[in-house]
Amino acid sequence: MRNAVALLLLASLGCSSEALDSPDDPQGPSADSTAVALGTGDGSPESMELVTLFTPTGELSATALAFDPLRSGELWVTLRRFPTDAPCTMTVTTGCAALIGEVALIQDATGDSPEVTMKEDGNAWHFMRRPTSIAFGTNGNLATCGEARTANYEDQPSNYNGPTLWSSDPAIFGVPPKPGQNGTHLDMLHETPFCMGIAHERDNVYWTFNGELGALDRYDFNEPHQIGGEDHADGELFRYVEGAVARTPEIPSHLAYDQEERVLYVADTGNGRVARLDATGGEESGVIDTNEHIHKAVQMSGVTLEDFVPPGTLETPSGLVFHDGHLYVTDNATSRIYAFDRSGALVRSLDTGLPSGSLAGIAIGPDGRAYLSDLVTGKAYRIEPL
């Protein structure tokens, strides 16, 4: 199936394997930034080298990765344990430890001597449960969210889960909590069960993929509470296009935000497409019942989700990152990476040669190279084009 997808894409662009070096060819040297990320070769596994930056101790799945914009070359990788049938209830807690997520913090990820520090929040069972995704703001904060119905015991009825806001300060994130602190988080809101993806817009505003409702939930945390606190009263939720996207269990559906055009891109994994949303559109059309008291929670109408890469091109889109006018997409089913311009035209593709089911997150580093997370092995890679 991998070869069939590649042939379909090449055919749709009207190019042949003999023309790969032509200046007008999408694999040629005209798209400089994509060439740094994915190479200018023939798009085969032999045209690049996968450099392993991190290999976990034990069985972990690497779901997403992102660079801290305030600390040069520092790459964060979200990790979770593989699912288990063991329960995590108030009376039977044998499965609770499997829900804890953690972070591999890689220093000098862009260099020759990466160093890894493992970080785990003091209450990651709640605040970083089965993480799927990570997104950095520009103000020293970041947010994560995870694939779980609830962040509490699983026999509790409310769908109580959603994004968590953190500080990237190494003196705060993942250090032992002080007395009275509930972990080291800065904020959390709880209206997005089975959260499959997250993207930063501005300030403390983040978009999330609501896997329970098939919606896109936009959150504004506004002012964070104190470290490890619990006051969420100033939080705001705006829910878009409910029912328009679909989750595929265990495969992240990442989001990417184009700051210049103010467009949100969505890996609509369950529908086999990449979609986009005009983030400036919509109007408030109704109040949403919430699990906790927050300042505002409203349904948004008057905006539609449109195809960017329609069904039939990708099999199982998962990872997304927008960089230098291009959207990079990983296909979990084929372990290929695709780069599209803003019009939706394919610019470049690369077959990583990894087994089916491997690829999830993708990031473009400050060096312009692509970085990948592996769902199967838990590894993080850097692509070195040859």
Q: Enumerate domains of the chain plus CATH numbers.
A: 2-385 (2.120.10.30)
Q: Do residues 29 and 23 make contact, with C-beta atoms less than 8 angstroms apart?
A: yes
What would the mean pLDDT of 73-86 be, rounded to a whole number?
98
Question: How far apart are the C-alpha atoms of 321 and 180, rounded to whole Å?
Answer: 38
pLDDT band of 23, cuts 50, 70, 90: very low
Which residues share a beta bridge with 293? Answer: none
What would the mean pLDDT of 228-254 be, rounded to a whole number?
97
Residue 154 has pLDDT above 70, yes or no: yes
Tokens coding 278:
């005009």
Residue in the block written with tokens 């790969």: 20
Question: How far apart are the C-alpha atoms of 191 and 196, rounded to whole Å?
Answer: 13
Question: How far apart are the C-alpha atoms of 95 and 85, rounded to whole Å?
Answer: 7
% of the chain with per-residue pLDDT over 90: 92
pLDDT at 8: 37
Query: pLDDT tens-digit profile of 321-376?
Result: 999 999 999 999 999 999 999 999 999 999 999 999 999 999 999 999 999 999 99
- Please report the beta strands in 48-161, taking only residues with DSSP state E, as ranges in sequence order: 48-54, 61-67, 75-80, 102-107, 115-119, 131-136, 141-146
Question: How far apart are the C-alpha atoms of 372 and 35, rounded to whole Å?
Answer: 16
Q: In this structure, what are the phi and psi dihedrals at residue 49, rounded to the nearest 5 degrees?
A: -120, 135
Query: pLDDT tens-digit profile of 175-229?
Result: 999 999 999 999 999 999 999 999 999 999 999 999 999 999 999 999 999 999 9
Query: pLDDT tens-digit profile of 249-291?
Result: 999 999 999 999 999 999 999 999 999 999 999 999 999 999 9
> Is residue 375 classed exposed, middle or buried when 0-12, 13-18 and 19+ CB atoms within 10 A define those classes?
buried
Q: In this structure, what are the phi and psi dihedrals at residue 297, rounded to the nearest 5 degrees?
A: -150, 110
Question: How far apart are the C-alpha atoms of 350 and 26, rounded to whole Å?
Answer: 12
Residue 146 has pLDDT above 70, yes or no: yes
One-letter amino acid for residue 55 of the chain:
T
What would the mean pLDDT of 118-147 be, rounded to a whole number?
98
Query: Please, which residues have CB within 8 angstroms of residue 32's CB and are 6 or more apart in sequence?
Result: none
pLDDT at 18: 31
pLDDT at 94: 97
What pTM did the predictor assign?
0.92
Residue 13 has pLDDT above 60, yes or no: no
User: Do you know the residue count of the chain?
Assistant: 386
